[in-house]
A and B are shown apart, each in its own frame.
Chain A
Amino acid sequence: MTAITALDRPNSYIGRSVPRPNAKRLLAGRGRYVTDIVLPRMLHGAYVRSPYAHARIVAINADEARAAPGVRLVAIGEDLAKLCTPWVGTMDHFKGMKSPPQLPLPIDKVVWAGQAVVAVVADTRALAEDAAELVAIEFDELPAVVDIDAARGPDAPVISPELGSNLCFHGKIDTGGVEDVFAGAAHVVEEEFLFGRHTAVTMEPRAIIADYDASEPKLTVHHATQTPYQFQDIYARHYGIPEACVRVIAPDIGGSFGMKLHMYHEDMAVVGLSIMLERPVKYVADRMESFVSDIHARDHRVRARMAADADGNILAMDVEDVTGIGAFSAYPRTSVVEGNQVYRLMGAPYTFKNYRADLQVVFQNKVQMSQYRAVGHPVACTVTERLVDMIAAKTSRDVFDIRSGNLIPDDAYPCASPTGYKFESLSHHACLAKIRALMDYDGLRAEQAALRKQGIHRGIGIASFVEITNPSPAFYGVGGVRISSQDGAIIKITPSGDVRCLISITELGQGTETIVGQIVAEHLGVDRERIKVITGDTETTPHGGATYACRGAGIGGETALQAAKKLKANVLAVAAAILQDEPDRLDMEAGWIVDAASRQQRIELAEIARIAYFRSDTLPPGTQSQLSVAHHYAPEGYPFAFTNGVQACHLELDVETGFVKLLKMWVVEDCGRVINPLLVDEQIRGGVVQGLGAAFFEECTYGDSGQLTNGSLAD
C-alpha cells in the first residue's frame, strides 16, 4: 500500500504525469498548422534565389515571368523597400557590435547562396515556381568570404564595406592573473575544437500567410512561430501599421527549437506582397529552401587551455572563440548571443577564479546564424568537459573524482562565475552522486575493463553543465530589443463555472497548455477538464515574451499561478458575500467552495458564477463580482534562472570501422519543481536525441565558393 501524498488531494495536478489534452487532436490528424490553412482568394509565393554566395545584382528581367500563367505579381527589392523600413540586428549591450541594414529582398547584391532575390506570386505554388524559373537575373560574381580566418585577413573582401571589416563583434573577458596562473601551473592542457554548422530541421518547415486588408486597415498574419508578439511589433513598426491593427496568429506549430523566432527575409517579404496585392499570400519553405534559409547555429572554432595544480585542482581557463555568423547579424535577437553564451558558460560549473576569453564574431557569405536550441551550451560544455577530462588524464584521476574535486560546492550559493553569471542555487554534487548511482559507474568500469581484454572497446563519458533559462529584462530589454521578458494571463470563470485561461506563452508541442491547465486547475480547485487554455493569438491573449529559453513554465507558469491566485481571491470574495462568511475561511476544491478547515462543501463554483453573471441583484449592495482577472509577471532580481545537471554516455566503438554504437544515456537535471514529469522526461529525451544527432550525424557543410553542399534531408 502506498502512502497518501499531496498528489492524492482533489485537483492536485502539479507534479502529476497527466497527458496533454490537445494532443488528441494531433493524433486524429486534426492539427491545424499554417501549412494547412487556406484563406479565400489566397495566392502563393515562390522565390528566385541566388546561386552565388556573393555577387552584385546587375539586372533582373522578369518580363517572361510576369506574363506566365497564373502570375499576379513579380516583386524585386526596390518594390518592397518602398513599403518596409530596413532592420538592423544589433543589441546595445554588445558594445561595438555592428551589422548592416537588411531589407526583405536585396537591391544591390546578394550575400549568401540561396538568398531570395525575386518574389513571384501566383494562383498556385506550382505556377509561381514555373514563373520563377523564367526570371533572368544577371549577377556579377564577387569573391566569397567563407573561411573565418580569411574573413579577418588584411586582404579579405569586406562584405559590407560601410562597416570597415568583416568583424561583427569583438568581446573580451579578463579577470586578470591568467598569465601568471598558467605560468606557474603544474599542468596545462589545451585543444582546438571545431563545431560545424547545425540547423533545426523542424518537421514542418517555415510557413506564413499574410492577409492585408486595406479597408480597416488590418494585417493578419498566420505565422508558424514561437513568438507572435515579437512579430506583431516587427510587422507594425517596419510596415508602418498601427500595432493594434496587426494580428499574429501562431496555430499548431510543427516544431521550432528556436528556429522560428527569427526574422526571415521571405517572411517579411510576404507581408509586403500581401499589402501590394491586398490579398492573402502564403509562403511555405520547401525542405531545400529550409536548409539554405533557416538560421544555422554553432559555427565555432574554439582554442582553449586549462591550468591545474599538481592534484588536478583547476586554476584557470583561457579561451579564444571565433564564430562565423553569415553576412549580417540576425534580427531581432542578433547573432552574437550564441558566442556570448559560449564564452560566458565556459567552465561555469567549476570553482576556479581566473578566466580570460576572446570572442570574435565574424561575417561571411553563408546563411545567417542565430539562436537554435541550447544556444551556446553544447560548445561551452564540450570544451570545458574535454579539458577537465584531459586534466583528469594528466593527474591520473578518475573522471568523477576530478569533477567532485572541482565543481562548485552545493552550499556555496549564491555565487558568481568568473565570467559574470550570478548563480542563485545549483546542485552539481547532488546531481553527480545521483548519476553515479543511476548508471552503476563502478560496475560499468569493471565491465569495461573485462570487455577490453576480449577486444571490445566500450567508452564511458560524463559531462556536468550549467544551463541558462528564464531571461529577465536584463537581456533583451536592456539591450534595446523589443522582446518581452514578462508574460500575461487572463483567466475567467464562465457562467457555467468552467475556466478559460488566455496566456502569452505559446504551445509548440512541449505541453505549455497542459501545464498551465494543471497550475490553474490546482489553484482554482477545479477538474482540469473544465479548463480551456488558449495561446498563440495576439488578438486575444495578453502581450508577452512567449516561448523561448526555457521560460514557458518558469515565467508563464508563474504568471498563470499568480493570476489563478488573484482570481481565487475574487471568487472567494463573492462566495463570502453570498455565504455571509469570511473569504479566508473558505477554499476551492473539486468545483466547490468549501470550508477551509473542514473541507465541507458550501456552494458550487457554477452557482457562484450563475449568481454573479445573472442575479447580481441578489448580492449584497456594492458587490461587483470580478470573475475575470488579467495579470502580468516578470522575473526580478537575478538576470537568469540558472539550472544545472549532468549527463553520462555509454557506447561501444568498432575500432576497425570507427562506427560507434550508443548503448545508453543517463541524464540527471535539476529542474526545480516538476509540474508534469511525463512532459519533462519527454523534453529531456527529445533534447538528448537532438544533441546526439548533432554530435554524430549533422552538419551543414559548405564548399570553397560558399555553396551549401548537403542541403536536403537525403544528404
Chain B
Amino acid sequence: MEALDAYEQAGSDASYIAGGQSLVPALALRLQAPDVLIDIAHIPDLRGIELKGNWLRIGALTRHAEVLAHPLIRQHAPLYSDAAPHVAHPAIRNKGTLGGSIAHADPASEFPAMTLALGAELEIANRNGTRRVAADAFFVDLFQTAIEPGELLVAIHVPVVNANHRWAFHELARRRGDYALVGCGILADVIDGAIAQIRIVFFSVGNTPVRAAKAEHALIGRVIDADAIAAAQAAVIHDLDPPEDENVPPAMRRQLARVVLGRLLGDIARQAP
C-alpha cells in the first residue's frame, strides 16, 4: 500500500493521520513533532462496513458519527452504538475515526474498551501483508498497542451478537462529552437464564482498557440475581488497580466501578430472555 511505502521512505519520524482529532492537539501542544504526516483519510480499503458471515468488518476510517448511526453496527456490534453518543462531542464525532481511536488506545476512551468487550479482532497491515490480532492481545500499555511502527490498522472485525447475547454500556462522566471517571461495557452470552460467557471491560481505570476477569468468573454459570451481582461487585474491586490521582483516588474509582457494574448487571438481568 502507498501509505506503508510512504512511512518506509520517511523513516521512523512519521505519523499516520486519519481524523486527526487526537493527533492534531498533540501537535498543537508541540508534544509530538513528526517530520512527516501521512494522510490516510482517502484510502478506500480503510472504509466501509460489511457483514461477512459471523463477522462484521468495520473499516478503520469509519467516523464516530457513522458508528453512532449505522444500522449494521447497531444490529451486530451494538456496544459501539451505545458508547458512541458518549464519545467526545458532535463535531469531533464528525471527523474522528474508529480505527484512530482504537490505535490511539487512550485508556479513558470508550471505543478501545468496547473493542475489547466485543471480543473484536484488529486487522493490521504491513509491507508483508496483513495480520489479525485479538483485542485481548492488542492493548499493551498506556497508548501502546500491538501495532508496530509503520504498520497500519485497516479494519476492526467484530463477532456478531446473536439472540443469546445481552449487553449494556454505562459511564460516569460529570458532564456529557467529558472523559468518564469510570466506564464499562458488558457483553454476556446467556443460555437458559444463566451466564455462559461474559466479557466485562472497564475504561478510565488503568493504563489500558481492563477486563474484569474476577468479576466475570464470579458470574459464570449463574443467573444474574442480587447475590450474583453482589459477588461480582465484591470481585471487581480486585480486578482493578486504578492509578493514583489527586482528584479521583483509586478507592473512589473502585467504588464507582462497583456501582457501575451493579447497575449494568441489573440492566442485563432486566433484558428480556
Q: Given A657-B172, A696-B174, A697-B174 in contact, is the A133-B246 Cβ separation under 8 Å? A: no
Quick one: which of A129, A658, A659, A701 contacts B246, CB cutoff 8 A?
A701
Q: In this assembly, does B196 line the interface, its C-beta being within 8 Å of a C-beta of chain A?
A: no
Q: Roughly how many angstroms separate A691 CA and B235 CA in the complex, as a whole number?
A: 40
Number of contacting residues on A, CB 8 A? 13
Decide: B174 and A129 in contact? CB cutoff 8 A.
no
Q: Mark B87-117, 1 if CB is under 8 A from A, else 0.
A: 0000000000000000000000000000000
Q: How far is the CB of A128 from chain B (nearest CB, A)?
A: 13
Cα distance A658–B259 in the bound complex, in angstroms: 11
Which residue among A129, A133, A656, A696 has the maximum number of chain B CB atoms within 10 Å of its CB? A656
Task: Let me know if A709 is at the binding interface, CB within 8 A.
Answer: yes
Q: Are B29 and A659 in contact (CB under 8 A)?
A: no
Query: B164-186 CB contact bits vs A (8 Å, 1 = yes)?
Result: 00000000101100000000000
A378–B30 Cα distance when bound, in Å, is 37
Question: Can you name the residue of chain A whose Cβ is closest to the Cβ of B262?
Answer: A656
With an 8 A cutoff between CB atoms, is A651 at the interface? no
Q: Is the CB of A701 within 8 A of B30?
A: no
Chain B residue nearest to A660 in the complex (CB): B174
Given contacts A701-B246, A709-B246, contact A659 B172 (CB under 8 A): yes
Q: Does B147 sit within 8 A of A, measured CB to CB?
A: no
Residue of A nearest to B252 (CB): A658
**Contacts of B214-231 to chain A: CB distance below 8 A:** none
* In the assembled complex, B162 has its CB within 8 A of some CB on chain A: no
Chain A residues near B246 (CB, 8 Å)? 701, 709
Q: Verify if B128 is at the interface (C-beta below 8 Å from A).
A: no
Looking at the assembled complex, report how far the CB atom of B179 sits from the nearest CB atom of chain A, in whole angstroms. Answer: 8
Q: How far is the CB of B195 from chain A (nearest CB, A)?
A: 23
B259 x A701 contact (CB < 8 A): no
Distance, CA A41 to CA B52, complexed state (A): 61
Minimal Cβ-Cβ distance residue in A for B181: A657
Determine the distance from Cα of A712 to Cα of B259 in the docked complex, in whole angstroms.
30
B51 surroundings in chain A (CB, below 8 A): none
Chain A residues near B247 (CB, 8 Å)? Answer: 701
Cβ of A288 under 8 Å from chain B: yes
B259–A656 CB distance below 8 A: yes
Question: Does A288 lie within 8 Å of B29, measured CB to CB?
Answer: yes
Residue of A whose beta carbon sits closest to that of B260: A657
Tell me the bound Cα distance from A701 to B29 in angstroms: 20
Residues of B within 8 A of A697 (CB): 174-175
Whether A657 lies near B174 (C-beta < 8 A) is: no
Question: Closest CB of chain A to B125's CB: distance in Å?
Answer: 31
The answer to whether B17 has its CB under 8 Å from any CB of chain A is no
State A701–B256 Cα separation when bound (angstroms). 23
Taking the closest CB of chain A, its distance from the CB of B132, in whole angstroms, is: 33
Interface string of B252-265 (1 = CB under 8 A from A): 10011001000000
Tell whether, in the assembled complex, residue B256 and residue A657 are in contact, meaning their CB atoms are under 8 Å apart. Answer: yes
CB–CB A129/B172 < 8 A = no
Point out which of A129, A288, A659 has the most chain B C-beta atoms below 10 A from its C-beta: A659
Whole-angstrom distance between the alpha carbons of A697 and B246 in the complex?
14
Of A129, A656, A712, A714, which is within 8 A of B30 by CB?
A: A129
Q: Is the CB of A133 within 8 A of B30?
A: yes
Write out the residue numbers on chain B whose beta carbons fall within 8 Å of the beta carbon of A656.
259
| B residues near A659, Cβ cutoff 8 Å | 172, 174
Q: Mark B145-176, 1 if CB is under 8 A from A, else 0.
A: 00000000000000000000000000010110
List chain A residues, Cβ under 8 A from B172: 657, 659
A129 / chain B contacts, CB cutoff of 8 Å: 30
Query: If the complex has contacts A696-B174, A697-B174, A709-B246, are A657 and B30 also in contact, measured as CB distance less than 8 A?
Result: no
Query: Which residues 20-60 of B sit at the A interface, judged by CB distance below 8 A?
Result: 25, 29-30
Which single residue of chain A is at the shortest CB-CB distance from B263?
Answer: A656
Q: Known contacts being A697-B174, A701-B246, A701-B247, is A657 close to B29, with CB within 8 Å? A: no
Tell me the minimal C-beta distance from A692 to chain B in angstroms.
11
Q: Complex: how many Å from CA A69 to CA B172?
A: 48
Q: Tell me how far the C-beta of B246 lies from the nearest C-beta in chain A, rounded to whole angstroms.
A: 6
Report chain A residues within 8 Å CB of B255.
657
Give Cα A701–Cα B246 distance, bound, in whole angstroms: 9
Alpha-carbon distance between A266 and B79 when the two chains are bound, in angstroms: 49
Tell me, in angstroms, the Cα distance from A696 to B178 when the chains sit together: 14
B25 to chain A, nearest CB (A): 8
**Residues on the A chain within 8 Å of B29, using CB:** 288, 712
Smallest beta-carbon distance B86→chain A, Å: 15
Chain A residues lying within 8 Å of B175, measured Cβ to Cβ, are 697
Minimum CB–CB distance from B95 to chain A (whole Å) comes to: 16
* Whole-angstrom CA separation of A288 from B25 in the bound complex: 12
Residue of A nearest to B175 (CB): A697
Q: Mark A695-715, 1 if CB is under 8 A from B, else 0.
A: 011000100000001001010
A659 to B252, CA, bound (A): 12
Instruction: Give A288 to B246 CA distance when docked, in angstroms.
Output: 20
A129–B28 Cα distance when bound, in Å, is 11
Q: Give the nearest-CB partner of A658 in chain B.
A: B252
Report the Cα distance A417→B247, complex, angstroms.
38
Task: Please indicate the chain B residues that have their CB under 8 angstroms from the CB of A133 in the complex.
Answer: 30
CA distance A129 to B29 in the complex (A): 11
Q: How far is the CB of A48 from chain B (nearest CB, A)?
A: 12
Q: Residue-by-residue, is A225-261 near B (CB-CB < 8 Å gives 1, otherwise 0)?
A: 0000000000000000000000000000000000000
Determine how close the nearest CB of chain B comes to the CB of A153; give it in whole angstroms.
Answer: 23
Q: How far is the CA of A696 from the CA of B175 in the complex (A)?
A: 11
B204 smallest CB distance to A (angstroms): 14
How far apart are A304's CB and chain B's nearest CB, in angstroms?
25
| Whole-angstrom CA separation of A133 from B30 in the bound complex | 10
CB proximity of B26 to chain A, nearest CB, Å? 11
For the complex, what is the distance from the CA of A701 to the CA of B247, rounded to whole Å?
9
Interchain CA distance A129-B172 in the complex, whole Å: 38
User: Which residues of chain A have C-beta atoms less than 8 A from B252's C-beta?
Assistant: 658
**Cβ distance A508 to chain B, nearest Cβ, rounded Å:** 26
A657 and B259 CA atoms in complex are apart in Å by 7
What are 11 residue pairs bridging A and B, where the CB atoms are less than 8 Å apart in the complex?
A288-B29, A656-B259, A657-B255, A657-B256, A657-B259, A659-B174, A696-B174, A697-B174, A697-B175, A701-B247, A712-B29
Q: A657-B256, A659-B172, A701-B246 are in contact. List 16 more A-B contacts (CB 8 A).
A: A129-B30, A133-B30, A288-B29, A656-B259, A657-B172, A657-B255, A657-B259, A658-B252, A659-B174, A696-B174, A697-B174, A697-B175, A701-B247, A709-B246, A712-B29, A714-B25
Closest A-B pairs by Cβ, 5 of them: A656-B259, A657-B259, A657-B256, A657-B172, A701-B246
- CB within 8 Å of B: which residues of A? 129, 133, 288, 656-659, 696-697, 701, 709, 712, 714
